[in-house]
Amino acid sequence: MPELPEVEHISRALNQAVSGAKVISVEIRLPRLIAGVSPTTFRRHLRNSSITSVGRRGKWILFQLDSNRVLMVHLRMTGKFVTLSPEQPVPPYAHVIFYLADERRLVYCDMRQFGRLTVVANNKIEASDSLKALAPEPFSQNFNSDYLRTAMSKSRRSIKEFLLDQTRVLGLGNIYASEALFLARINPRSAANSISRLRVERLLEAIRNTLDEAIASGSTLRIDLTDGDGDYIGTDERFWRVYEREGEPCVNCGAAIKRLVQGARSSYYCPRCQR
């Protein structure tokens, strides 16, 4: 499900819901999802720790613990968090259950089981295997046109595939990569190292605007962690301009949106606007 904007909202919702909560025990139903440490160590490091705040780095959700450790969770495709009151049943695909001192349960659910959970020491977090190679945060000063131009100049891959590489550009996924290229009016097939300076500038702005707009529109939706599936509520509307719109008219020029496959994943673009 999530790209950076969704992870941003989920981490905000979690920060509201479980900051200050104390974990009294952890039930690991699917040990494969625990990475980096053994399930036993994972449980030991979580037990009797309080969550002081929840944030994110890229698409990783970071639960800061008062034990000077961080619980790191990546939702991958189908990971979700739900909080349950004592009378609520455990939902399907519940793989890790955190029992909280206030009698609630924080449940990690994941239909496809691609997600990962790990725990690391505070002072090792940025150097951890998961985070060390990530590109700068898209809204930080370090993610600027010099950075992007240099990174792109080293890559012969298509710009669409380049944008999905979290070590080059952080936060876009398959939807927002197409959306950003549409805003920047760049063809997804263009080689990353072939794109003009002007277009790199446009792409930088398009990446920021795409993420920014997605975060802003999501903020009116809110995530309800108690609704049983942890999903966005009340939206069937697609505010995407090209994604999943094959054959529909381009919002700019009316030409039919096209779909192509790159790196085994769908890309959508306007053949007239994106040359």
Q: Which is nearer to DNA, 104 or 241 (CB)?
A: 241
CA-wise closest residue to 12 among 239, 194, 135, 4? 4
Identify which range of 70-78, 83-91, 204-212, 219-227 contacts DNA by CB under 7 A.
Answer: 70-78
To the query of whether residue 59 is one of the catalytic residues in this protein, the response is: yes
Q: Does 90 bind DNA (CB under 7 A)?
A: no
Q: Which two tokens stand for residue 12?
A: 């905000």
SS3 of 171, please? coil
**Cα–Cα distance for residue pair 270/265, rounded to 1 Å:** 17
Q: How many CA atoms lie within 13 A of 43 on its CB side?
A: 13
Shortest distance in whole angstroms from residue 241 CB to DNA: 15
Identify which range of 94-102, 181-189, 202-210, 262-270 contacts DNA by CB under 7 A.
Answer: 262-270
**Which of 37, 111, 221, 260 lies at the binding interface for DNA (CB under 7 A)?**
111
**Which of 3, 28, 54, 180 lies at the binding interface for DNA (CB under 7 A)?**
3
Q: Does 77 bind DNA (CB under 7 A)?
A: yes
Residues that bind DNA (rule: CB under 7 A) add up to a total of 33
Identify which range of 101-109, 157-165, 204-212, 248-256 contacts DNA by CB under 7 A.
Answer: 157-165
Q: Does 8 bind DNA (CB under 7 A)?
A: no
To the query of whether residue 188 is one of the catalytic residues in this protein, the response is: no
At 84, the amino acid letter reads L
Which residues, in sequence order, are CB contacts of 40 under 8 Å at separation 6+? none
Q: Does 166 bind DNA (CB under 7 A)?
A: yes
Q: Does 175 bind DNA (CB under 7 A)?
A: yes
**Cα–Cα distance for residue pair 58/218, rounded to 1 Å:** 17
Helices 4-18 and 197-218, interaxial angle, to 10°? 40
Q: How many CA atoms lie within 13 A of 97 on its CB side?
A: 16
Shortest distance in whole angstroms from residue 24 CB to DNA: 29
Q: Which of 47, 202, 265, 272 is catalytic?
A: 265
Q: Does 149 bind DNA (CB under 7 A)?
A: no
To the query of whether residue 6 is one of the catalytic residues in this protein, the response is: no
Which residues, in sequence order, are CB contacts of 140 under 8 Å at separation 6+? none
End-to-end CA distance of the chain: 29
Q: Which two tokens stand for residue 62?
A: 């970071």
**Cα–Cα distance for residue pair 107/90, rounded to 1 Å:** 8
Q: Does 216 bind DNA (CB under 7 A)?
A: no
Identify which range of 162-170, 179-187, 219-227, 248-256 contacts DNA by CB under 7 A.
Answer: 162-170
Q: Does 124 bind DNA (CB under 7 A)?
A: no
Q: Does 179 bind DNA (CB under 7 A)?
A: no
CB 74 within 8 A of CB 58: no
Give kind and range of the element (H or E) at residue 149: helix 145-153
Contacts to DNA by CB under 7 A? 1-3, 6, 32, 58-59, 74, 76-77, 111-114, 116, 129-130, 154-157, 161-162, 164, 166, 173-175, 261, 263-266
Query: Where in the sequence numbering do the catalytic residues fall?
Result: 2-3, 59, 265
